[in-house]
Chain A
């Protein structure tokens, strides 16, 4: 039983990690939280449902949904985040925080208005289970974990091994220092934002693929887990976000098995409190600052 729950936790952590790295990358480069980040996953999932129902072939539908998600994300950045970046006053951090909370609510309610406020069936699903050595393994979650692992490996390569990744790190560390090297920090921030939106979009579709259903309000739950994973792992650290997501996934699965699904998020927050009490900078913060 415990082994089964541990397996479930590890498998679901891939989706959490995709959300968490997006949160941490945006915070790292902009110094503010994008509270609408997980909503880009919802937008992508519902955009796929819409484009498929409109009769597009699967590949075309996914491409069209990607464009829709990217446009929505860039609109949120433009309206809710950029003004705070250009504002030099005391509320430069609070403005995008509140702005993106508002943007997230607008996106959730827009989805509810268009598609109804109940969970609906996703256009593609892999809800089947296979039995491996006495354990039930969700095909969808295995695919999610593999897709997440590949994307996270690519992201790690991008950030640490490419010139664009060096530019991201330079802007995240000190914008003046980056700009005097000729780096257009606004462009780097926008591209990074688009990358994180794409990761959230893929995560949202993996939720639909794995569980078969998507809800207009599902972003709230994933935002909490992504944010907690980011803080537990160490804000600004990509490996930390992945480690945090793994921990959250496992703790959540064990909590559900021991205390029932209504206690799902309690275990997650207990882990958060424990890490904050023992190591406030997060598990991998020191390594990340290098």
Chain B
């Protein structure tokens, strides 16, 4: 799968949230989007997931123009996402989240072509939630709730996975494990777009990094190139990344 974001702009009232943003994401790779708070990272994920209409530019997935669509339609086209502020169904167990997501996937044309998907217990084991499968979200730790969002997405057998700040509120050890998890998700044949503040996680998970600042692409490249870029250091790394 090839995701092409070409000259995308989005304005909310007086705020230019995205300004002529272009980037490319590919199957098998983690494309990280970093930048200070308010840089437009989550808006970009909103546009990529069809939740936010763009004002200008194009978003193409495998050559087809992406359109504004209800979130529930994303399963059909193989797109899933997590949210910056965790969104779970508090009265459903961990396993029930995955079961409902899988039920939707099995009703898609993709499932008829590609098969029923990998077993849910494998997904749970992979994200480290096998022991809490029967628990409700409010019985989970913060890191486990974050991983449940990822597991829920995996149950839809995604081709494009948009992951929004998965490490927020997690411990350093959990961040390293998350980085490995996200990298292996991509290696299994998924295009991953990762929005994240924690540079160690980004460095461990991502092949390429796009830096946003005030809604514009400041620069892009490998993590090494980004870390050496004086503009990035001035705008971002020298300040907020120290905390991460």
Stretch of B15-23, B92-100, B200-208 with 4 or more beta carbons under 8 angstroms from chain A: B92-100
Q: Are B91 and A181 in contact (CB under 8 A)?
A: no
A residues within 8 A CB of B124?
none
Chain A interface residue bracket vs B: 20 to 34
Per the bound structure, the CA–CA distance linking A19 and B70 in Å amounts to 32
With known contacts A179-B70, A184-B72, A185-B72, A173–B89 Cβ distance under 8 A: yes
B residues within 8 A CB of A163?
99-100, 103
Q: Are A183 and B104 in contact (CB under 8 A)?
A: yes
B156 on the A face (CB < 8 A): yes
Q: How far is the CB of A13 from chain B (nearest CB, A)?
A: 26
The residue on A at minimum CB distance from B105 is A182
With known contacts A176-B87, A289-B90, A181–B100 Cβ distance under 8 A: yes
- Contacting residues of chain B (80-130) with chain A, CB-CB under 8 angstroms: 80-81, 83, 87-92, 96-97, 99-101, 103-105, 107-108
Q: Are A180 and B89 in contact (CB under 8 A)?
A: no
Per the bound structure, the CA–CA distance linking A218 and B27 in Å amounts to 62
Q: Are B91 and A173 in contact (CB under 8 A)?
A: yes
Q: Are A182 and B72 in contact (CB under 8 A)?
A: yes
Q: How far is the CB of B159 from chain A (nearest CB, A)?
A: 14
Residue from A166, A167, A173, A176 in contact with B90 in the complex, judged by beta carbons closer than 8 Å: A173
With known contacts A176-B71, A176-B83, A290-B136, A183–B100 Cβ distance under 8 A: yes
Per the bound structure, the CA–CA distance linking A90 and B168 in Å amounts to 30
With known contacts A176-B83, A181-B156, A183-B100, A166–B92 Cβ distance under 8 A: yes
A169 on the B face (CB < 8 A): yes
A178 on the B face (CB < 8 A): yes
Chain B interface residue bracket vs A: 20 to 34
A177 on the B face (CB < 8 A): yes
Q: Are B100 and A166 in contact (CB under 8 A)?
A: yes
A residues within 8 A CB of B89?
169-170, 173-174, 177-178
B74 on the A face (CB < 8 A): yes
The residue on B at minimum CB distance from A167 is B100
- Contacting residues of chain A (165-212) with chain B, CB-CB under 8 angstroms: 166-167, 169-170, 172-174, 176-186
Q: Are B152 and A180 in contact (CB under 8 A)?
A: yes
Per the bound structure, the CA–CA distance linking A167 and B104 in Å amounts to 11
Per the bound structure, the CA–CA distance linking A186 and B73 in Å amounts to 12
B residues within 8 A CB of A172?
91
Q: Are A177 and B87 in contact (CB under 8 A)?
A: yes
Q: What 0/1 pattern do residues 23 to 66 of A give for CB contact below 8 A with B?
A: 00000000000000000000000000000000000000000000
A residues within 8 A CB of B88?
173-174, 177
Q: Are B87 and A180 in contact (CB under 8 A)?
A: yes
Interface residues of A (CB under 8 A from B): 163, 166-167, 169-170, 172-174, 176-186, 289-290
List 6 contacting pairs A-B, 8 Å CB cutoff, sorted by A: A173-B88, A177-B89, A179-B70, A180-B71, A180-B87, A180-B153
